Chain A
């Protein structure tokens, strides 16, 4: 009986912490989606499976490298700050990378170093963006991948990710192929193939 008295309040406390952590994740993401600036990143897709998190398509980004100053030490996998700007077509491109938070008014994101090509002239650094997975329903992911690949081959159809950014933190909101969300396109395809059957 004595145990009951201690254990139940303790358990309730632990349960609240267990609820708080995922809730906090949600709130952080929602805040970025609500208040963040919108950026379009042009993409290039495979479909691996994460054992815990279902199916997703992997997005590769066109503008993913910047020229670096090799006098500084850059290591694969390190966290970096990337400042961003928009090009003429309205797509986002990286401008510069920093090891510490940059003192600029330019928008920036926190990313990782995906590779260093210091043998190139000029030497460049490949950015690994923190938004290269787009989760979809498992039956949709392979179709989405096909849609995406076709759009890449057909240079008239552009595909890009819609990213919200707030204080360096980024959230992937949608993947657009042509002028529609990839989810819509996949749903249309599935409906069409069901009719054909």
Chain B
């Protein structure tokens, strides 16, 4: 918008005073987004990514015809180029967002390329997990020195992958204790993003990547008592719902904490709604000595204490009505779990809890004439119905009839809400 030319004309013609013109200019200056042209930023990151990945692929070709020395020199070429690009950025373009992101991403990728090529030249075996660990450790300082969000996302992907390699995909599996310090190392950067770039895409992406990474890797603490992991997970999901609830000005799609927390809680609830789990739990003769010193129990307890403390603080400081319904799920599930160790009633309680949650959301949506909320509640109930068909011995025609009823109620509820909405609008 070229407002200056118009303002100049208006002041010359004495339509507005200089003071008003200045006020208008200041207003528009303050409205200008701080970030540079997002398109340039996106293209420079994409360019870096493509060039970096291209180099990795070119390197993967192996180039046998070159001598070992030549290949070694080539191995360092991308790394040195990336370093020089970053140095140039720091010295000459410290304020350019695009330069910072692009050079940092390129350097991050070239670290991996260089290590790969060296291991290739010397036929170094090495586990993928070890390679990823060296890569992310060497890449971590780039995030802070270059203030690069994309590099930070790569770092998160890298250490998540490392933990999965070590604890899920490699046999024998080993717990990846290093995952937690690696995660902590990126938290100051996240706090910085929250404080200074709350409206940037970088921050929004982190809101998804960080809770998702922990959701994936929380299971890596498991060694012998997987049954207890459900407790860790439900407390963790309760915690991230509460964290997500702290971000008041975020659109739901940018609030990965809350959405993942709700979806995760539902997944755990549906898991626990099957009787197999509970009969297995009662048949397991847990020796208290083993359980009380297990990593799963320790993790569950820590997460329970943190989430419970957070929840009670939230209840004290805000109105209960403002808290999402799902933030009350974890204490109930913990309670039901303790009952479930001794009594078969637990599975019934879990099913009732899911049903109540569904009804609350349907009711809420209907009251507010909000279709999304209402359909979310309906879906909770519909899934519950579907899962119950799996483990019931009902004949097909009854199952079919129930499906029809669930489907029809979806239509009916939506129809009435829409009808009421259009009435109100008139």
Seen from chain A, the residues whose Cβ lies within 8 Å of a Cβ on chain B are: 3-4, 7-8, 10-12, 14-15, 17-19, 21-22, 25-26, 29, 52-56, 75-77, 130-138, 140, 171-172, 183
Contacts and interface: CB of A to CB of B under 8 A. Distances in A.
B94 A4 contact: yes
A123 B53 CA distance: 48
B332 interface: no
Contacts of A3: 94
26 contacts: A10-B141, A11-B90, A15-B86, A15-B87, A18-B79, A18-B83, A18-B111, A21-B115, A21-B134, A22-B79, A22-B114, A25-B115, A25-B124, A26-B72, A26-B122, A52-B131, A54-B62, A56-B123, A76-B171, A76-B172, A77-B172, A130-B125, A136-B64, A137-B61, A137-B64, A171-B123
B215 to A, nearest CB: 24
B285 to A, nearest CB: 25
A133 B128 CA distance: 13
> At the interface, is chain B mostly helix, strand, loop or mixed?
helix
Given A10-B145, A11-B90, A132-B125, A138 B83 contact: no
A141 to B, nearest CB: 8
Contacts of A25: 115, 118-119, 122, 124
Interface in B355-409: none
Contacts of B65: 137
Given A3-B94, A54-B60, A76-B172, A12 B87 contact: yes
A25 B134 CA distance: 12
Nearest to A76: B172
Contacts of B295: none
Contacts, number: 104
A53 B94 contact: no
B163 interface: no
Nearest to A128: B125
Interface in B109-162: 111-112, 114-116, 118-125, 128, 131, 134, 138, 141-142, 145-146
B412 to A, nearest CB: 51
B174 to A, nearest CB: 9
Contact of B138 (A10, A18, A132, A140): A18
Interface string B180-215: 000000000000000000000000000000000000
Contacts of A137: 61-65
A133 B123 contact: yes
Contact of A134 (B91, B94, B115, B123): B123
Contacts of B86: 11, 15
B168 to A, nearest CB: 15
Contacts of B87: 8, 11-12, 15
B125 A53 contact: no
B56 interface: yes
Given A11-B86, A136-B62, 19 more contacts: A7-B90, A7-B145, A8-B91, A10-B145, A15-B83, A18-B79, A19-B79, A21-B115, A25-B115, A29-B122, A52-B60, A52-B131, A53-B60, A53-B116, A54-B59, A54-B62, A75-B172, A135-B123, A140-B62
B74 interface: no
B311 interface: no
B176 to A, nearest CB: 15
Contacts of B247: none
A52 B125 contact: no
Given A12-B87, A137-B61, A19 B120 contact: no
A54 B172 contact: no
Contacts of A75: 172
Nearest to B61: A138
Contacts of A132: 125
A127 B122 CA distance: 21
Nearest to B62: A137
B145 A53 contact: no
A52 B76 contact: no
A14 B122 CA distance: 25
A174 B25 CA distance: 72
Contact of B118 (A26, A54, A76): A26
Most buried by B among A4, A26, A183: A26
B239 interface: no
B310 to A, nearest CB: 35
Contacts of B83: 15, 18-19
B75 interface: yes
Interface string B73-93: 001100110010011001100
B76 A54 contact: no
A56 to B, nearest CB: 8
B214 to A, nearest CB: 25
Given A18-B111, A137-B62, A8 B123 contact: no
Contact of B112 (A52, A134, A140): A52
A14 B142 contact: yes
Nearest to B91: A8
Contacts of A7: 90, 94, 145
Nearest to B112: A52
A76 B171 CA distance: 8
A77 B172 CA distance: 6
Give 6 nearest A-B pairs by CB, closest first: A54-B60, A137-B62, A137-B64, A29-B122, A172-B123, A14-B141
